Amino acid sequence: MALVTPKKIIVSNCGDSRAVLYRNSVVIPLSIDHKIEESGGHVIFWDEARILGVLATSRAIVNGYLKPYVISESEVTITDGGG
């Protein structure tokens, strides 16, 4: 999710979807990816990537019983909007 004003760009991210800004021919990352393995978890490939062999990573939000194994706190970054 992003809030863009003339002075600030505020991005909230949870997961591996990234936000970038292209300014003056330079790509600027606005978010930090959350990766399962970097957080101490494991991904098992069984038809698709799964957490603990059960949870498909694209369906992590709707499987509440696996909440202890899924990052739920978003990373918030604030960048100068340049305006």
Rounded CA gap, 5 and 11, in Å? 12
Query: What's the pLDDT score for residue 73?
Result: 74
Structure confidence by residue, pLDDT tens digits, 53-83: 555 555 555 666 666 666 667 788 899 876 5
The token pair at 38 is: 């970097």
Range of the domain at 53: 2-80
Q: What is the DSSP letter of 74?
A: P
Q: Which residue has the higher pLDDT, 15 or 21?
A: 21
For residues 75 and 31, the answer to whether their CB atoms sit within 8 Å is: yes
* Number of domains within the chain: 1
Predicted local distance difference test score (pLDDT) of residue 17: 75
